[in-house]
Structure 1
Amino acid sequence: MYFKLSLRNVRRSFKDYAIYFLTITFAVCLFYSFNSISAQKAMLDLSDTQSNMIDELMRIMGAISVFISVVLAFLILFANRFLIKRRQKELGMYMTLGMSKYHISRILVMETFLIGLISLAVGLGLGTLLSQGLSVLTAALFKVDMNAYEFVFSTAAMLKTILYFGIIFFIVMIFNVVIMSRYKLIDLLTASKKNQKMKIRKTSTAISVFVLSIILLGVAYGIMLKYGLFHDTTLMWTSIGLGAVGTFLFFFSLSGFLLKVLKKNEKLYYHHINMFVLRQINSKVNSTFISMTIICLMLFFTIGVLSTGFSLKESLEKDLDETTPYDATFYGFVGLGEVDELNSLFTEMDLDQYGETIIYNRYRTDQGIRSYLQPYASGAAATFLDQERGVDLEVIKRSDYEKLVSMQGEEPVSLEGEEVLLLTNRTDLTEPIKRFANEHAQIEIKGETFPVAEEGLRVVSTKTDGVATEFMTAVLPDEEAEQLSPFSVTINVQYEEGKQEVADQEIPEIHAALNAQEDIPTYVLGMTKTEAYEQSTGTSTVVVYIGVYLGIVFLISSAAILALQQLSEASENMERYSMLKKIGVTQKGIHQSIFRQVFIYFMMPLALAIVHSIFGIKVVNDALLAAGQTSVLLPSFMTAGVIVVVYGGYFLATYSGYKSIVK
């Protein structure tokens, strides 16, 4: 009997609470899909570096999945609490008919088990299908070909999903039993008649708290705009803390004065049944300001993570062509007397067999580029120069510069006498250096004054690297450069035609064997161009996957909580809507009031999250531009599209479900 009753309740729940089931199913689908990435490697033509990146991605995903499971556990518990609350009268009727709390708890446990079983089955099925498409996305993000399509099913991901969600639903079962044991019959039967208490009664107090919240948010925004994202960790966390507290106080104070303010606009307040709608919203915000705060912060995190993830991928890959002019580069930092040893070490690597090579020194000046460029910097460059730590002007010899540029197939700038040419590959520093070179006929380096060449700046890279690190380098006459202290030795390699495949395989092995020696003067850094591309695409793909995974889960969680809050109180409002019908409100008018209520309720946390995001995106945008990388504006528009689809979809589903329950 109890099983039949549980099965009937589950069938009814599918009709009335489709969002609850869909949310759990979608969570299972995402969890399985993102944890099955390692199984997709069989289809992809991956190098060792890319294969290692996927292994690293799976290790990170493992840690992230633990966090995600905690978030989903709270979501499911939250949803379950509202479902139990809506069924209080039903449970009270069971007790009235003589059913004990033990047997009611058994029914709830069976229902939870059935819900979990169905959600896991459907979610795993959808996740299996989604993971097939994820294989194509993985290939695109890693920029590799698919060997041949084959159906992929990850047993490890399936078992992990079953384990994690099994634990979650077991906790839900215990939660239901504990909740049921605390209920009294009178509480269950009169639950729908209880009114919610106002948290703030005095309008003056509410307005004061609201003003304080605006001040805290303004201070948080100001700190981040002034000091940027990476200026100081303490300031960053202080800003985040102030923003979180300000968000809480904003929603805490809102219901205390919002309705009274709107009452003053009689045309708005008394139009149609706006009075009813506004009171409904005011009452709901008054009792859910904590969840409103959490949802707002989650939405802000979602917008920020999705925007940052896509933009960081673009930025990491944007300048690779400019920062990888050579097929391979290796370098080591040296102390006094170690230059000759490192030169000999690079010679012994015998990289000449793969193509043209050049070994050259870089010299230190101990003069920060900030002292040269700060008067000419603005925007992203000024932000970078304000935050830079120990970025000095570097020097290379003129003869080395000419060989390096010729090796790239370019024509070097012709320099005469003691003329100096400045080099950079940083897009944010190009304009300040150009202005400095144009406005100065000479430059002082280590107490010596040198004339600046007519073409004062050349945008060029003197080594292959995954990021733009040629901040500002001066080309000096050989005899002048040799008077300075060298701090690094670099070897560049340009492959001969037809040797790339062999070189890309053998040179990393030579590099690894070199660093394995115990008597080398310093650890040798560097990579091939292929490794630079693979590491860049691999790193950016890891960032994208984590960003998308977290962002979508947070977005779904936020929308699901809002939806369940609205649907859980729909039955409580049935009598109120019935009264509206009795006083002459049409069905169309009731539908309009439901639409306005649900729309405003969904928009309140999203609106503040968007305000947070405007400032957050500005700060992140400045940080990326200061690093010579791309803007986050385009990815932000893409993120907005995702939010419109997912969040808007939940809104429409909630509106439809609300109408169905009230009807």
Structure 2
Amino acid sequence: MFFNLVRRNSKRNRRENGLFFFSLLAAIVAFYIILSLPNQDIMGFLREMESGAVDRLLSLIPAFYAVTLFILFFLIYFASRYQLERRSHELGMYLMMGMRRTKLFTMLLAEDLWSSLVSIVVGIPVAILLSEVISLVTARAVGMGILGHQSAVSLSAIFWTIAGFVLIKLAAFLLLSGKFASKEIGALLSPTPEGAKRQRPAVLYRIALALGVLLLAAAYLLAISGEAWYSLAVMGITLAFGIAGTLLLFYGLRTVLGMLAQRQSGKSGLGVFTFRQLQENVIGQPLSLAVSSLLILAALCCFGYGASMTLYYGSNDTHTLDYTFQNSENPSELPEKLKSAGLEEYFASVFDMRIGQMRSESNDPAEAIHMDEMLELIEQQADSSARSDLLNAYSNIDNPYVISLSGYNQLLAAAGEPPITLNNNQAALYGYDSFTNREKAELINHVLSQEPEIVANGERLQLTGTIQTRNPVTDRAITLYFALIVPDETFDRLAEERYTHYWDATLSPGFVQENGRMQAIQQINHKLDATDIHYESYLQSMGRQLFYQVASSYLTLYLAVIFLIIANTVIGMQFLTQQRKTGRRYRTLVRLGSHYEAICLSANRQIRWFFALPIVVAAVGSVFGVRALFSGFLPPDLAENIPGLYRIAFVILFLLCVVEYGYMLVVTRASSKYILTRMEAGREE
């Protein structure tokens, strides 16, 4: 009998408060996904390439977990209080019918544990399935191939997910249930008072609204200008302006809502009632609405930045080479060593790449090259940051390099690009791709079109063509910010014996297609480890990029999900709580002749406005917030791609608006069900 009562009450609570139940399921899924991150295939690959960075990333997970538990505790506490307040009359009736307080406390505890068990039973399988889907998509996106994916269920993640969830649920229950179980019967049976709100002079609200807008504008300006990233003090001022501006804005919104209510006077329907209700809701909880708006802002920024950076990294792959080999003792023997090791069949091409330091007769590397004519042409261009950077870079070349033309042309052939044609007195300019962005490349190419002359170790060379940015080796540690691509005969004169002989290689397309690029390279790595061949693979060069991709996707999206769950659940719960506190007004409307459809329409408009106020403020802020994140965290080589990243971010923000609409539908359905219970116009004693 007691168990059936607990089960029925628990089922009814989940049905009547579906928003809170589904928010808990989403929290369980987010917990498991972040805690199971060390077991994902991609992390195994990254450990081999960027073990230090990965270890630091994984060391942050417990901190994220603890902070999330702390934040979710307040969500559960607030939502549970709403549930108990809604059942206050029911709990009082249990005591009136003779139930002991200890049994009432036990019943509430059993209901909470049963609901937690249902959430875990439903949430954990969903979390495992979603984690596998994410792992598969990630493996496919980075080139591991689906065949290289290994399914794994993290028992430790399941344990800590359950432990953390039960802990915060139990803590919230003990704080609330004891409080309600100890209340006097009369207090439980009486409806919760609405509470009087102290009204201040209207001019004070107008000042707060104007000051809030000004503070937000100042915060946005500091954020998008990049000033906020220059020092910790400026960052603190920016955040303080943003938070204070949001609080003042919501404190002063009652002025705007009052004006909207006055404009409804004389119109048919419940327009005035709608905006007066909405005004009272905002007046009663400006702080919680402001905090919810800030949480939504944080979620939108995390989603927009994290998703756009992840998608960009996946679509900006300029990969050409799979391997670079180096044999310092006898470079010419490298192809034979690969053949004797049985690896020749796995490669589509193997070619030599000579890179040398330009010698100088005075043995001073800074005197090896003079670029006076090119610097003069750059100075003649319009003033810009690109012009200043190039003048500074090309005026201080103290360690110039040269690259053999034959090797670089084979690199271009492997990339499917046309070769470079040079005479003995000509040279092509090479620049590191992360330094040479689009604006700089356009400026350099304009200068190169005039074929300026330079002096390299006493030889006059004419620069021609366009700047080349394709990395001649896979090792990202070898970053040539400046080099000359010269014919092989010129290379022999300029570098003499001061050069390094590399062998670049690309894998067979069939082998890559069969296994996936990452899986194929890993297999070849294991074979090469059994030889004495020194190599650098594409995995090492892409490790840092993959690390940023995983870090930006998992951590930012995890925080975004948590912030979004908390903010929307709080907004929904606040509206439903306030609606129940003012439930007698709906019965008064029924007595006055209002129909169910008209009352529901009024409530629906209140819900849309109540959600829209914090969401619109957050959406406007997110436009500046995402731009500020791009300014602060965007690598230099991606700075020119901000418009493309913005397009991706706006798509993500639009999808989040769809999610917000889903939350409004859930709250609308709960509101309509409650209004249906108020339709009996009977007397209330």
Report TM bin, short chain.
Answer: 0.7 to 0.9
CA distance in 2, matches of 1:383, 1:26: 50
2:306 matches 1:296: no
Deviation at 1:54, TM superposition (A): 8.5
Structure 2 unaligned runs (5+)? 339-349, 359-364, 512-519, 677-685
Query: Any idea what SS the aligned residue of 1:434 has?
Result: helix
The 1:614/1:48 distance shift into structure 2, 3 A limit, reads closer
Kindly provide the CA deviation profile for residues 584-630 of structure 1, in whole angstroms up to 9, marking residues without a partner as x. 22222112111111111111111011111111233445664842364
Tell whether 2:474 aligns with 1:453: no
Deviation by residue 1:365-404 (Cα, 9 ceiling, x = unmatched)? 699999997986899x669969x99996576444546644
Q: How large is the RMSD of aligned CA atoms in angstroms?
A: 4.7
Query: Structure 2 vs 1, CA of residues 418 and 248 (structure 1 numbering), >3 Å: closer, same or farther?
Result: same
Sort the Cα spacing of 1:258 and 1:509 in 2 relative to 1 into closer, same or farther, 3 A.
farther
Instruction: Find the aligned partners of 1:114 and 1:413 in 2 and give their Cα distance.
Output: 76
Structure 1 spans left out of the alignment, 5+ residues: 331-342, 515-525
What CA distance in whole angstroms lies between the structure 2 residues aligned with 1:496 and 1:259? 66
Q: CA distance change for structure 1 residues 657 and 491 in 2, over 3 Å: closer, same or farther? A: farther
1:570 maps to which of 579, 598, 604? 579
Of residues 154-163 and 353-362 in structure 1, the stretch that sits farther from structure 2 once superposed is 353-362
1:632 aligns to what?
Answer: 645
Change (3 A) 1:48 1:221: closer
Contact kept, 8 Å, 2:142 with 2:314, in 1: the verdict is: no
After superposition, give the CA deviation of every residue in 1:552-594 in whole Å (9 maximum; x if it has no partner): 2222222222222222233333321121222222222112111
Alpha-carbon distance in 2 for matches of 1:88, 1:216: 42
Q: CA offset at residue 357 of structure 1?
A: 4.0
Q: Give yes or no for contact 1:277–1:597 (8 Å, CA) kept in 2.
A: yes
State the distance in 1 between where 2:196 and 2:313 align: 52
Once the two structures are aligned, what percentage of the paired residues are identical? 19
**Which amino acid is the alignment partner of residue 201 of structure 1?**
R
Spell out, residue by residue over 1:169-213, the C-alpha distance to the aligned partner (whole angstroms, 9 max, x if none).
Answer: 221222114533775556544453333424x62221112122221
Deviation at 1:56, TM superposition (A): 7.7
Question: Tell me, what secondary structure is at the counterpart of 2:656?
Answer: helix
| Aligned counterpart, 1:617 | 626
In structure 2, what is the equivalent of residue 430 of structure 1? 441
Partner of 2:234: 235
1:495 corresponds to:
505
CA contact (8 A) 2:323 2:505 kept: yes
The match for 2:604 is 595
Instruction: Confirm or deny: 8 A CA contact 1:112 1:172 kept in the other structure.
Output: no
Is 2:661 the partner of 1:661? no
Cα distance in 1 for partners of 2:8, 2:447 equals 79
1:308 is aligned, of 305, 310, 314, to 305
Task: Describe the superposition over 1:488-540 as per-residue Cα deviations: whole angstroms up to 9, x where unpaired.
Answer: x86643138779968634667889x99xxxxxxxxxxx942243345534541
State whether residues 101 and 180 of structure 1, in contact with CA within 8 Å, keep that contact through their aligned partners in structure 2: no
* 1:50 positional shift: 7.7
- CA offsets, 1:56-100, max 9 Å, x none? 876554443333333322221221122223333444445556666
With 643-652 and 471-480 compared, the bigger mean Cα shift is at 471-480
**One-letter amino acid matched to 1:284:** N
Q: Structure 1: how far apart are the matches of 2:101 and 2:453?
A: 89
Q: CA deviation at 1:660?
A: 0.4
Structure 1 counterpart of 2:272, from 275, 294, 298: 275
1: CA distance, partners of 2:62 / 2:232: 27
**Cα offset, 1:35, TM superposition:** 3.4
Displacement after TM superposition at 1:229 (Å): 7.1
Count residues in correspondence: 627
Question: Is the Cα contact below 8 Å between 1:397 and 1:478 reproduced in 2?
Answer: no
TM-score between the two structures when normalised by the length of structure 2: 0.76
Checking the alignment, whether the CA contact within 8 Å between 2:351 and 2:410 is kept in structure 1 is no
Tell me if structure 1 keeps the 8 A contact 2:258–2:275: no
Residue 561 (1) aligns with residue 570 (2): yes
The equivalent position to 2:473 in structure 1, one of 459, 463, 467, is: 463
Distance 1:382 1:418 in 2: 25
Identify if the C-alpha distance between structure 1 residues 478 and 55 changes in structure 2 by more than 3 Å, giving closer, same or farther.
Answer: closer
Classify 1:588/1:557 alpha carbon distance in 2 versus 1 (closer, same or farther; 3 Å): same
Q: Measured at CA, do residues 422 and 127 of structure 1 come closer, stay the same or move farther in structure 2, by a change above 3 Å?
A: closer
Query: How many Å apart are 1:438 and its aligned residue?
Result: 5.2
The residue identity in structure 2 corresponding to 1:430 is A
d(CA) in 1 for partners of 2:17, 2:221: 43
Alignment of 1:105 onto 2:105: yes
Q: CA deviation at 1:656?
A: 0.6
Q: Give 1:248's aligned residue.
A: 247
The match for 1:411 among 394, 400, 419 is: 419
Which stretch of structure 1 is more off in the superposition, 124-133 or 208-217?
124-133
Q: Distance in 2 between matches of 1:576 and 1:312?
A: 50
Deviations 1:384-437 (A, max 9, x none): 969x99996576444546644445446335266587735352333312333454
Answer yes or no: is the 8 Å Cα contact 2:28–2:161 preserved in 1.
yes
1:165 equivalent in alignment to 2:165: yes
Q: Answer whether contact 2:41 2:150 (CA < 8 A) is retained.
A: no
Superposed counterparts of 1:344-355, under 5 Å:
353-354=337-338, 355=350
1:130-529 alignment, distance < 5 Å: 130-147=130-147, 153-180=153-180, 183=183, 187-198=187-198, 201-227=200-226, 230-255=229-254, 257-266=255-264, 270-321=267-318, 324-325=320-321, 327-328=323-324, 353-354=337-338, 355-361=350-356, 396-398=400-402, 400=404, 403-409=407-413, 411-414=419-422, 417=425, 421=429, 423-425=431-433, 426-428=436-438, 429-437=440-448, 441=452, 453-455=463-465, 457-464=467-474, 473=483, 492-495=502-505, 504-505=525-526, 527-529=536-538
